[in-house]
Chain A
């Protein structure tokens, strides 16, 4: 959360119209899903890395680290698709490993399916990562507003985002208060303290929501969390890069 947050407010792509970035991202996402080739997914990852590091000027490692974290979940998820286990294995499997009485096997077919799944998902994830790493929540909210999403939903998104940080802060403070009085000195204490902290956090959030309501009312709240419409710039280079990425993905589909 904090890693993303640090970079999202300090990158060159920040002021660019979020609709343009979102259009590019959706296009790449759609191509990954429709073309369904491992190469397309990998090319999409490469392009998104280029866009975030060279176009938006994020440190080169950031995009990689975020994608790696998500990729490792993905590998675990598709491992189940590629591998099967049992006491007896069917005919026609390509690889078998015996672990005691258990057999673990995979076939060309299952590995191929897993590879398709993984790369397709990774390409789409990379595309969304690019949006998330270069677009602050305010701009995403503005985009949702333009898409005519009901304002109740948008307000929930906006408030939730703010409250995540407020809750994290309270959590930190309460944890420190407990820790400083030996609340986590033994396993038993830690379990008890964590339970107290959880219930306390719940009460805290409830009271805070009441205070928030008061503060909103005092500034004339009438059921809509209004804000100024931000102004954005248009960056033509994003369009050319988007076109080049699309072309590359299509060529990737044809050639490989």
Chain B
């Protein structure tokens, strides 16, 4: 089976910058997966996304769409953009039209769809994102959460195979956030791929099927949340004290005894995601003595896991 989209050793330096933004990034995206991309500010998440969509052209390395190398002529780019959609961090950058329905129909019409088909897709996406009552509204009269949903709907209406969502969660309230997560979950459930750049470790651990960790323009590891969050090395990349808040799922001694225990210590290996079997998240038991902030209520994350896992 070939991945929908594969990035191989992609290198890129922004014009005028000395430091490269990507230094040989590898990533493979399969259908039906929800992938969270973690990594510090400036680690190259947005740059990686812009490559997936053909906005930026790698200085070195190669992209493959369904196994075929991506060329950068007009036709191939349209093909790539038909399959890969990006929801940008700031919806105001994305919404250019005076009215919601005009903005949402922009992508589908660019795909060469008829007015009838485009309006069907707009309606469908609007229903999914619960913005049917906003369709006739002017874009500038929307709230932040509404803008985020309209921006998402505008990309969903193009029915891409892969949707990349760049850090939109930070400015949303928990309800809005949950709604968008569940839309993305449904999208993945239909065999498509969701890639979400985020700084929310709890979200990555509970919602995602796979977690990719970026650092300094490389993808350090792609693996299940279990594996990533049981690796001390990975946790060290995810932020100060993340080992306190997100202690390894299995204690170190257990992991060492387990048959495939060496995965926990060497998850940096291939950029090929392991197939996910069984439940996405094991019930979490947080050893309270390792978590100075938990005050004995160590199952906070476990509750969160139940709520966001649909």
Taking Cβ atoms with an 8 Å cutoff, the residues of A that contact B are 5, 9, 136-138, 141, 158-159, 161-162, 165-166, 169, 208, 211-212, 214-222, 225-230
Question: Residue-by-residue, is B140-162 near A (CB-CB < 8 Å gives 1, otherwise 0)?
Answer: 11000000000000110010000
CA distance A230 to B104 in the complex (A): 13
Q: How far is the CB of A159 from chain B (nearest CB, A)?
A: 6
* B96 pairs with A226, CB closer than 8 A: no
For residue B111, which residues in chain A have a CB less than 8 angstroms away from its CB? 220
* A219 pairs with B92, CB closer than 8 A: no
- Out of A218, A222, A226, A230, which one reaches B55, CB within 8 Å? A218
For residue A229, which residues in chain B have a CB less than 8 angstroms away from its CB? 115
Complex A-B: 24 CB contacts under 8 Å = A5-B140, A9-B141, A136-B99, A136-B138, A141-B98, A158-B97, A162-B98, A208-B93, A211-B90, A215-B96, A216-B96, A218-B55, A218-B81, A219-B85, A219-B107, A220-B110, A220-B158, A221-B110, A222-B110, A225-B96, A226-B110, A228-B102, A228-B115, A229-B115
* A215 pairs with B93, CB closer than 8 A: yes
* A214 pairs with B55, CB closer than 8 A: yes
Q: How far is the CB of B169 from chain A (nearest CB, A)?
A: 19
- Out of A141, A208, A214, A228, which one reaches B119, CB within 8 Å? A228
Question: Residue-by-residue, is B151-189 near A (CB-CB < 8 Å gives 1, otherwise 0)?
Answer: 000110010000000000000000000000000000000
* A226 pairs with B97, CB closer than 8 A: no
CA distance A228 to B125 in the complex (A): 15
Question: Residue-by-residue, is B82-125 near A (CB-CB < 8 Å gives 1, otherwise 0)?
Answer: 10011010101111111101110111011100010011001000
Q: Is B53 an interface residue (CB 8 A)?
A: yes
For residue B154, which residues in chain A have a CB less than 8 angstroms away from its CB? 219
For residue B78, which residue of chain A has the nearest CB?
Answer: A220
Q: Is B68 an interface residue (CB 8 A)?
A: no
Known interface pairs A136-B138, A219-B154; A212-B101 also in contact (CB < 8 Å): no
Q: How far is the CB of A222 from chain B (nearest CB, A)?
A: 6
* B82 pairs with A165, CB closer than 8 A: no
For residue B118, which residues in chain A have a CB less than 8 angstroms away from its CB? 228
* B109 pairs with A214, CB closer than 8 A: no
Known interface pairs A9-B138, A214-B50, A215-B88; A228-B122 also in contact (CB < 8 Å): yes
For residue B86, which residue of chain A has the nearest CB?
Answer: A218
> Quick one: which of A220, A221, A222, A226 has the most chain B CB within 10 A?
A220
Q: Interface size for chain B: under 10, 10 to 19, 20 to 34, or 35 or more residues? A: 35 or more
CA distance A169 to B140 in the complex (A): 10
Q: Is B306 an interface residue (CB 8 A)?
A: no
For residue A161, which residues in chain B have a CB less than 8 angstroms away from its CB? 98
* A218 pairs with B85, CB closer than 8 A: yes
- Out of B53, B90, B99, B105, which one reaches A218, CB within 8 Å? B53
For residue A217, which residues in chain B have a CB less than 8 angstroms away from its CB? 55, 81
* B81 pairs with A219, CB closer than 8 A: yes
For residue A211, which residues in chain B have a CB less than 8 angstroms away from its CB? 88, 90, 93
Q: How far is the CB of B57 from chain A (nearest CB, A)?
A: 12
* B99 pairs with A138, CB closer than 8 A: yes
- Out of B101, B105, B137, which one reaches A9, CB within 8 Å? B137
CA distance A228 to B100 in the complex (A): 11
Q: Is B193 an interface residue (CB 8 A)?
A: no
Not counting A136-B99, A158-B97, A214-B88, a sample of 18 additional A-B residue pairs whose C-beta atoms are within 8 angstroms of each other reads A5-B140, A138-B97, A138-B102, A159-B96, A162-B96, A162-B97, A166-B92, A208-B93, A214-B50, A215-B94, A218-B55, A218-B81, A219-B110, A226-B106, A226-B109, A228-B102, A228-B115, A228-B118
For residue A227, which residues in chain B have a CB less than 8 angstroms away from its CB? 97, 101-103, 105-106, 109
- Out of A138, A158, A165, A212, which one reaches B140, CB within 8 Å? A165
For residue B82, which residues in chain A have a CB less than 8 angstroms away from its CB? 220
Q: Is B26 an interface residue (CB 8 A)?
A: no
Q: How far is the CB of B50 from chain A (nearest CB, A)?
A: 7
Known interface pairs A215-B88, A221-B110; A5-B138 also in contact (CB < 8 Å): yes
Q: Is B139 an interface residue (CB 8 A)?
A: yes
For residue A222, which residues in chain B have a CB less than 8 angstroms away from its CB? 78, 110
For residue B101, which residues in chain A have a CB less than 8 angstroms away from its CB? 227-228, 230
CA distance A166 to B94 in the complex (A): 12
For residue B86, which residues in chain A have a CB less than 8 angstroms away from its CB? 218
For residue B136, which residues in chain A have a CB less than 8 angstroms away from its CB? 9
For residue B93, which residue of chain A has the nearest CB?
Answer: A211
For residue B140, which residues in chain A have a CB less than 8 angstroms away from its CB? 5, 162, 165-166
CA distance A228 to B115 in the complex (A): 6
Question: Residue-by-residue, is B210-246 near A (CB-CB < 8 Å gives 1, otherwise 0)?
Answer: 0000000000000000000000000000000000000
For residue B151, which residue of chain A has the nearest CB?
Answer: A215
Q: How far is the CB of B43 from chain A (nearest CB, A)?
A: 19
For residue B141, which residues in chain A have a CB less than 8 angstroms away from its CB? 5, 9
Q: How far is the CB of B96 from chain A (nearest CB, A)?
A: 6
CA distance A218 to B151 in the complex (A): 12
Q: How far is the CB of A63 from chain B (nearest CB, A)?
A: 20
For residue B139, which residues in chain A have a CB less than 8 angstroms away from its CB? 162, 165
